[in-house]
Amino acid sequence: MFSQIPFDPKTLNGKDAVKEILRIALVAEYDAISLYEQLAASTDREDIKKVFLDIAREEKEHVGEFQALLLKEDPEQTAAIEKGAKEIEELAG
């Protein structure tokens, strides 16, 4: 169910370590969003569903926070995201 990190994050070092731990954090947040949205969809209880969806929205804010940090650390990532967005605009309008 959850993503597998293919290495031990404690072994990271060097200039790319921060970028890698931020990417690991993003993966964890996306997993959490998926989990909470699936749990919300699996219940008929509106009170429980509401709580799970609220927590999923909070996790989406965490994605934004980690993404902002990553983009500050990795200008190449920023350029790639902008390029990808332009390609989608051209293809999908």
Residue 39 in tokens: 């749990």
Is 88 within the bounds of a domain? yes
E-strand stretches of the chain: none
Q: What is the domain range of residue 81?
A: 16-92
Is 25 within the bounds of a domain? yes
Tell me, what's the pLDDT at 70?
Answer: 96
Is 2 within the bounds of a domain? no
Mean pLDDT, range 27-35, rounded to an integer:
96
pLDDT in tens, 53-68: 999 999 999 999 999 9
CA distance 44 to 66: 32
User: For residue 7, what pLDDT band results from cuts at 50, 70 and 90?
Assistant: low
Is 37 within the bounds of a domain? yes
Is 10 within the bounds of a domain? no
Is 7 within the bounds of a domain? no
Residue 4, sorted as left (phi over 0), alpha (psi -120 to 50) or beta, turns out to be: beta
User: For residue 2, what pLDDT band results from cuts at 50, 70 and 90?
Assistant: confident
Is 38 within the bounds of a domain? yes
Alpha-carbon 38 to chain mean position? 16
Tell me, what's the pLDDT at 32?
Answer: 97
Residue 54 in tokens: 């609220």
Per the structure, how many domains does the chain have?
A: 1
